[in-house]
Chains A and B, each alone.
Chain A
Amino acid sequence: MIKRIALLLLVLSGTASGQAITADIFKGGNTPNMAVIDFRSSSGGGYMSTFNSTLFADLQDSGLFKMVPKSFYPLQVPQRPEDFKPASGQGLAMADWAGSPVNANYLAYGYTAVQNGQLVLYGWLYDVAQQNAQAAQVIGSRYFGTPDDAGARKVAHEFANDIIAKFGGGTLAGSKIYFVSDRTGAKEIWVMDYDGSNQRQLTFYKSIAIQPSVSPDGTKLAFVSYDKGTPRIVMLDTVTGRPLQFYNQQASVNETPSFSPDGKELYYASTAAGKEAQIYASNLNGTNFRRIGVAKAIQVEPKVNPKNGSQIAFAQGPKNEQLFLMNTEGANVERLTNGEGEAASPSWHSDGQHMLFAWTRGYATGNWNVFLMDVTTREYDQLTSSAGRNENPNWAPDGRHLAFKSNRTGKWQIWTMLANGNQLNRLTNSGNNESPVWSK
């Protein structure tokens, strides 16, 4: 508790990015305690520190475990299954790891050797609550690489990936990111693989196509197009690439479409009521629309809470755009951000509790950064800083990575990273790119 408040104070004073909230988002409910010994090589080699730091970081970054600090470890560590004794007290019994002060649920251990010129990793993962080795073994595998730093990293990554996979932490392989690019001379909707490969153009209006949003099952894409003169919502079948019917209300602006968590409704902002943009919901083809937001203010970017389906986050202004919550009836309106700067781009985590958004708090107007907030406590972490402007954050399907746009390299590009700032990757490099949405 004290640590949390201390971190909070640091965050408010703007000097620390804070890990408290970010760490929270990785708690799906079940984060087992993981102990990982420092592996040694039976053949010497100066690459073991690379191996150990890679293995530990991968497991920690996955967010699936609570890593037990190595200072709690027993004096002796097992390196092979035969090292285990029923009762040791020194670290060679499973009970030594399951009990205090370690209190681990799982232990990753093993050793490396150079055999026939190859680096071989012998890695085991044990459920240390079990009674014997046979019951305890979750993983017992060999991994191969070159006997150097690169090979050490490789086998560490592979072992870590096997462990992560056991706990349901899927890879991002196969997932796609829809985004906007102006590289052809006009803003169009594009799509690419999660790692930036296979970038391909989806719309060819040669007008302005912006604000893509993908349905939960990935089969539909809604976006905004000026092809008929004023901004209107277009619905696309992602499988065929063809437009589906969508009835736009008669309005000067129809924008910021997003899908309800059950995929049956579309939420959007419209000036149909004659004055400011207000939040509406409708069927997927635009029929049966109903007004939700009633405010003498500009309301945009409605996003329904994926956990309860009944709460909407949205952006509203003036004065200075902020984030708000209300229910799907338009009641229980409350402001989420604290009134400072300008806030936009809310993106719910699947846990319905954490939210990514863009905020200018702490900086001059127009200088946006990506933030992560715990909606229940209103505490937040700043995830980007001193690196140009950073906006449009959206979660990856794994709930641990996010995509966003940044102009830190000059033009706007799409970047991805883990919520703790690691694994920062730039995906685009042509034209200006924005508004990434990540689909499974």
Chain B
Amino acid sequence: MKKRMRMLKTSGIGIICMAAALTIAGCGGKVKPYTPPTPTVGGGVTPPSDNGSLKPTVLQFTVEPSVIERGQSATLRWSVNNATTISIDNGIGDVQSSGTRRITPAETTTYRLSASGPQGVVNGTTTVTVTNPAPVTTPTPTNKSTLDQEVNTLLQDAYFDYDSNQIRSDARDALAKDADSLKKIFADFPTASVIVEGHCDERGSAEYNLGLADQRASATKEYLVSLGVPAAKLKTVSYGKERPQCTEATEACYQKNRRAHFTAAQ
């Protein structure tokens, strides 16, 4: 009943006639059967979505983006006409006639959409390409970084008095330990060498301090060599007062800067 009514929508007279026919019939007396007017084709009539006279069509079946790295996701998007059953493979299953679905395939996958209706079946495919991600540069423990670690954690600074390059008793203790640590470091890293840096506090003149810090580095190296550390593996650099490790105008900071310090050679 409803269908017919819809077809005759534009024909208001038809409806009235129908209604009139029904009511007149209810009142008794015969009525000629009314022939509904021929429906105009394409007259703005919206075809019903499940009109059996139209075959199912895949209006859209895409994936965005179409190329992803493994671990990334993409979005399937589809729109299908005139089908009663729509399904997508690869684990997606039955779906509505249009929609989207987020997917995270592990490798390149071709998705197949199947749409069936009374008038037939139609398929669609779309492919998402999955590439291997760029190799993550996890710093595999290279020899260099472990050398840095050993140098920075094992080797203590040696401290000096003002305007002096003499190895004090506390420096002797530190350097004795450093000598052992250096032997271990050079055993672990046979091709490595270590830099002995000389530094000064900020109070003397810069030019003189370059010379004094050089003496501190040399004296430190000499002392280590006297304890059995191979001289060829120790290089010296003087930084004068150019690279302070603190800048407060206090005796504590001054002492921190009057030092020999160790770094791994590049």
Chain A residues with CB under 8 Å of chain B are 187, 208, 210-211, 226, 229-231, 252-253, 255-256, 269, 271, 275-277, 298-301, 315, 317-321, 342, 344-345, 358, 365-366, 368, 391, 434
Contacts and interface: CB of A to CB of B under 8 A. Distances in A.
Contact of B214 (A253, A301, A320): A253
Given A317-B163, A318-B163, A320-B163, A252 B207 contact: no
Contacts of A358: 205
A252 B204 CA distance: 20
Contact of B208 (A187, A208, A317, A366): A317
Interface residues of B, number: 22
B207 A315 contact: yes
Interface string B152-165: 00000000001110
B215 interface: yes
B204 A300 contact: no
B205 A256 contact: no
Contacts of A434: 206
Nearest to A229: B237
Contacts of B217: 252
B202 interface: yes
Contacts of A275: 218
Given A230-B238, A252-B214, A358-B205, 17 more contacts: A187-B242, A211-B207, A229-B237, A230-B237, A253-B238, A255-B210, A276-B215, A277-B210, A298-B208, A298-B212, A299-B211, A318-B163, A320-B163, A345-B207, A365-B203, A366-B204, A368-B205
Contacts of B164: 318
Contacts of B236: 252
B3 to A, nearest CB: 82
A231 B209 CA distance: 13
A341 to B, nearest CB: 11
A253 B206 contact: no
User: Which of B205, B206, B211 has its CB near the most chain A CB atoms (within 10 A)?
Assistant: B211
A320 B205 CA distance: 11
A276 B211 contact: yes
Given A210-B242, A231-B238, A319-B163, A342 B204 contact: yes
Interface in B194-245: 202-208, 210-212, 214-215, 217-218, 236-238, 242
Contacts of A391: 205
Contacts of A345: 205, 207
Contacts of A320: 163
B175 to A, nearest CB: 19
Interface in B134-178: 162-164
B259 to A, nearest CB: 17
15 contacts: A230-B238, A252-B238, A253-B214, A269-B207, A275-B218, A276-B215, A298-B211, A300-B210, A315-B205, A315-B208, A317-B212, A318-B163, A321-B204, A342-B205, A344-B208
Nearest to B206: A210
B205 A253 contact: no
B207 A255 contact: yes
Shortest 9 CB-CB contacts between residues of A and residues of B: A366-B203, A344-B205, A298-B211, A277-B211, A300-B207, A321-B208, A253-B214, A318-B163, A256-B207
B202 A300 contact: no
A391 B206 CA distance: 10
Contacts of B210: 231, 253, 255, 277, 300
A211 B209 CA distance: 13
B174 to A, nearest CB: 22
B211 A366 contact: no
Contacts of A366: 202-204, 249
Contacts of B208: 298, 300, 315, 317, 321, 342, 344
A275 B218 CA distance: 8
Contacts of A300: 207-208, 210-211
Given A187-B242, A253-B238, A318-B163, A298 B215 contact: yes
A317 B205 CA distance: 11
A344 B211 CA distance: 13
A391 B203 CA distance: 12
A301 B207 contact: yes
Contacts of A344: 205, 207-208
Nearest to A269: B211
A361 to B, nearest CB: 14
B167 to A, nearest CB: 15
A345 B207 CA distance: 9
Contacts of A321: 163, 204-205, 208
A170 B242 CA distance: 38
Contacts of B206: 210-211, 434
A299 B204 CA distance: 14
Contacts of B212: 298, 317-318
A252 B237 contact: yes
A439 to B, nearest CB: 20
Contacts of B202: 366
A390 B93 CA distance: 84
Contacts of B242: 187, 208, 210, 226
Contacts of B218: 252, 275
A287 to B, nearest CB: 24
Contacts of B211: 253, 255, 269, 271, 276-277, 298-300
A252 B203 CA distance: 22
Nearest to A277: B211
